[in-house]
Chains A and B, each alone.
Chain A
Amino acid sequence: MKKLKDKSERLLLGKIIEAEAESGNPDMKLVRECTDKIEATAGKLTDSEIEAKLAKITGAKKTTVTHARFKKRKLWVSVVAASLAVVMVTAAAATSNLWGWLTFPFTRDSGQLTEVPEGYVGIYTEADLDLIRNDPDGNFILMADIDLGGKEHTPIGDYLNPFDGMFNGNGHVISNFTINASGASIWETVSGEELQARWNAQKKKLNSGKYKIDVFNLPAYSIFGLDGRFDERYDNKTYEEYDMQYISSVGFFGDAGNATITGLGVENATVSVTDADYAAVGVIAGRAGYISACYVKDSTVTIGANTADVEAYANGREMDIFEYMMKEPGLSIRGCERVYSVSAGLLAGEVFAIDSCYTDGTLNASGIGSDNIDYSTLSAGSLAGYGGSAVSSYSTATVNIEGNVFRSQGMLGKACLTPCIVPTPVFETLVNEHMSGGYFYFYDINKRNDKDTKASFEKTLFCFYYLHGNDLEDLTSVESYISLEDIEYAFFIDGDGVRTMDSMCIISAMSTHYDRLQLMELLERLGDIDAIEQLYKDAGMRVGAICCYTPEGKEKAEFYEGFDFGEVWTMKNGMPVLKIFG
């Protein structure tokens, strides 16, 4: 009877794995769970047996098969296999998940590279850092530790020339530097033509195919004080001048919103920022795309957020920023109440994703809002102030935060539930859920007729899509799923091909004011957070702080679920350390 039950169990487990495989995006945790149970009755292979099988397969010539049983297989099997491969490669590209994006090959390198790999520029000295400033789209690799001797460091990459490349720290350390900066947002008045040119340049850059990460693809600026809108919906009018407000990004890298930074250690750094009203502050970067296998220790970040100081009235009525950005044409706006939005972390102020990192040090953040307090936020995290995901990381840093505004802290001071990169299956799930249940409530500009009263949020069918890698297959899948007759607003970022006039007003207004994380945070704030979070979890997405720890009392590797102690981490004196740093 016991044997029969084993057989039943095994069959069911096999069918579950098969169903998972059929879905195209199997949950490997579930599969491994099933595998353990099957192996318990069917026997488990030893490591040496697996090695032997691997050697047999990889040592075989292309036409050689591995077992006598298959020696007589016909050629068509190979043809079918090749066809299947093509089909599955297409499917695989469409079923990438966030975890896949987070785990980089170099994270798993077991040691430092001693030669500069092809396509990279080696950084050996402090002077070489200027090479990065001169080629902000390049790929760089650190080939030696750099001690900056306590010097004042100017962040690499700013709002006009962000670092968008790859920086591989290669297991080396940059140490002893100080940054003293203003966190006040940067204001600039630009002509309508200039704004349009920047917008087009940004789109062109993103559509070049080079920016595979594609995270903060929109410039971190907002437009204030414009008399009219940058809006193609009504009259395609271009206005003469725009007041631009840029985020102040402070860190070793300043604005590196599209960059990947990996294998870098930073020690004994002091970052101090005052008068911050729209800022992202961190030791490694103010803003970054991906940070993996990095650490920060013995470092301090101090940030003071500044109070709002601009009165805002429209037609004699106080307005908030969001309303301002969505105002009707012709509405006279003289100004807007200025709020502050500050994100600070030991790794970075804002970052899309963190993988296998740790921090130690202190972060002190304080902010005071105005009396009629608004949307000012102060987000401080021991890893990052604001981010999409942090996985397999830990922190021993101390975070002190105070102020009379909205505050948040933790590993990620504020986590944006929605990953910026949404794989196609998840996108399909989201669309399906949105269209059937309407999770999101969105500000419907078409239904707002009374210009002098607060607009109400009306339930609107709404969807969004982040196109990653400029993948035309994905774009096609979007088009097949979206019928503008069925929804009121289609929300597309990155692609030029599927935007509609109806959606343009929202895209332009939102994208000029909010960067991606902020945009998603707004959407989540307007929707049912619990339902959205569950939806993402059901879809197998990894968002928020996952497998992140404060290591107190966790002196053994088994306490760190999710950490790869084979290739990425190792235990040293009861603490996990990154292997690449030796």
Chain B
Amino acid sequence: MKEIDFSAFFKEYYPPLRAFCVARFSIDGYDADDYASQAFSDLWQTWDNFKNSPPPSIFSWLCMRVKSLFIDEYRKRKRAPDEVEYNEELHGIPDIDGAAEDESYQAYLSEIRSKLGERENEIFTAMVEQSLGIDRTAELLGMTRSGTLTAWYRLRTKLSGILKNIF
């Protein structure tokens, strides 16, 4: 496998990671920069272990990393808000799934669901709505891991087409 240049990787993958933070955690760009920067900082410190890996896989790791950072902070704040040792002001971090309960969001999901088949709806619910990941989705739906992956690959292609129509 080729060796990846960190700088080039950063320039290419920082924006999508930042966008992921904005969208997934419902935070603004400044907060998203914090999480994305920290994740890349962690990556930089162990770059020797990653530089021969496929970039999309590293991006996967970064996504999981920022999610971990976010949840870590959120739990900390919920558990003992007075003891959190931040120097800066606390940001209004919402419930990580709170926005999903919004009526408009649910209507929006219904619009998408109506374009999916039965099995696709199950995969969509588990993978996208509930963010269960491949292994738990497979377990929940009684499928093999590879079968779930295949189903997800197909669904994402379809979703891509649906999103183009909606947006």
Q: Do A and B bind each other?
A: yes
- The interface of chain A, by Cβ under 8 A from chain B, is 1, 4-5, 7-28, 30-35, 37-39, 42-45, 47, 50-51, 53-54, 56-58, 60, 62, 65-72, 77-78, 80-82, 84-86, 88-89, 91-93, 95-97, 100-101, 103-105, 108, 212, 425, 428-429, 431-433, 436, 481, 535, 537-540
Question: Do A8 and B105 touch (CB < 8 A)?
Answer: yes
Show 30 residue pairs from A and B whose CB-CB distance is below 8 angstroms, ordered by the A residue. A7-B99, A8-B99, A11-B26, A15-B23, A15-B24, A15-B131, A17-B23, A18-B24, A19-B128, A24-B57, A25-B60, A27-B156, A30-B159, A30-B160, A37-B163, A51-B11, A54-B14, A57-B10, A66-B37, A69-B88, A70-B38, A80-B68, A82-B46, A88-B61, A100-B55, A425-B146, A425-B149, A429-B153, A432-B147, A540-B153
Q: How far is the CA of A56 from the CA of B44 in the complex (A)?
A: 11
Note all chain A residues with C-beta closer than 8 A to B26.
Answer: 7, 10-11
A56: min CB distance to chain B, Å: 7
Nearest Cβ distance between residue B98 and chain A, in whole angstroms?
10
Task: For the complex formed, measure the closest distance between the CB of A345 and the CB atoms of chain B, giving whole angstroms.
Answer: 25
CB-CB under 8 A from B79, the residues of chain A are none
Question: How many cross-chain pairs have Cβ atoms below 8 Å apart between A and B?
Answer: 272
Q: In the complex, which of the residues A42, A65, A82, A104 contacts B29, with contact meaning CB atoms closer than 8 Å?
A: A42
- Say whether, besides A42-B28, A81-B46, A93 and B53 are in contact (CB < 8 Å): yes
State which size class the interface on B falls in: 35 or more
Interface majority SS on A: helix, strand, loop or mixed? helix
Rounded to whole Å, the gap between the CB of A104 and the closest CB of chain B is 6
Is B131 touching A538 in the complex (CB atoms < 8 A)?
Answer: no
Q: Could you say which residues of chain B place their CB within 8 Å of the CB of A9?
A: 108, 167
Residues in chain B near residue A81, CB distance under 8 A: 42, 45-46, 65
In the complex, the answer to whether B57 meets A14 with C-beta atoms within 8 Å is no
What CA separation (Å) do A501 and B6 show in the bound complex?
A: 47
Given contacts A1-B104, A16-B156, A50-B15, 9 further A-B contacts (CB under 8 A): A12-B105, A15-B129, A17-B23, A23-B134, A44-B15, A67-B37, A89-B49, A100-B55, A212-B1
B22 within 8 Å of A by Cβ? Answer: yes
Bound: A481/B146 CA distance, A: 10
Point out the residues of chain B lying under 8 angstroms from A66, CB to CB.
Answer: 37-38, 41
CB of B74 within 8 Å of the partner chain:
no
User: Are B150's CB and A539's CB within 8 A?
Assistant: yes
Q: By the criterion CB–CB under 8 Å, are B167 and A37 in contact? A: yes
Contacts of B1 in A (CB 8 A): 93, 96, 100-101, 212
A97 to B37, CA, bound (A): 27
Question: By the criterion CB–CB under 8 Å, are A38 and B23 in contact?
Answer: yes
CA distance A27 to B153 in the complex (A): 9
Indicate which residue in A23, A44, A70 contacts B149 across the interface (CB closer than 8 Å).
Answer: A23
Task: Check A22–B11 contact: CB distance below 8 A.
Answer: no
User: Using a CB-CB cutoff of 8 Å, which residues 14-30 of chain B contact chain A?
Assistant: 14-16, 18-20, 22-26, 28-29
By secondary structure, the B interface counts as helix
A65 in complex: contacting residue of B41, B127, B149, CB < 8 Å? B41
* B10 (CB) vs chain A CBs: closest residue: A54
Q: Which residues of B contact A539 (CB under 8 A)?
A: 150, 153
Known: A14-B20, A538-B157. A69 touches B128 (CB 8 A): no
Within 8 A of A (CB), among B134-167: 134, 144-147, 149-150, 152-154, 156-157, 159-160, 163, 167
Query: Assuming the A-B contacts A8-B102, A431-B146, are A20 and B156 also in contact, with contact meaning beta carbons closer than 8 angstroms in the complex?
Result: yes
Neighbouring A residues of B108 by C-beta, 8 Å = 5, 8-9, 12
Given the known interface contacts A57-B10, A58-B6, the answer about A38 and B22 at a Cβ–Cβ threshold of 8 Å is yes
A22 touches B59 (CB 8 A): no
Pick the contact of A42: B3, B22, B86 (CB < 8 A).
B22
When the two chains form their complex, are residues A22 and B20 in contact, meaning their CB atoms are under 8 A apart?
no
Q: Can you name the residue of chain B whose Cβ is closest to the Cβ of A537?
A: B157
Measured in the bound complex, the distance between the Cα atoms of B12 and A45 in whole Å is 12
B55–chain A nearest beta-carbon distance, Å: 7
Cβ contact within 8 Å between A58 and B147: no
User: Closest A-chain residue to B109, C-beta based?
Assistant: A12
B43-96 contacts to A (CB < 8 Å): 44-46, 49-50, 53-61, 63-65, 67-68, 72, 85-88
Which one, A26, A54, A71, A86, contacts B56 given CB within 8 A? A26
Residues on A with C-beta less than 8 A from B25 are: 14
Report the separation of the CA atoms of residues A72 and B64 in the bound assembly, to the nearest whole angstrom: 21
Cα-based distance from A537 to B153 in the complex (angstroms): 9
- Whether A21 contacts B149 in the complex (CB less than 8 A), given A31-B16, A66-B37, A67-B37, comes out as no
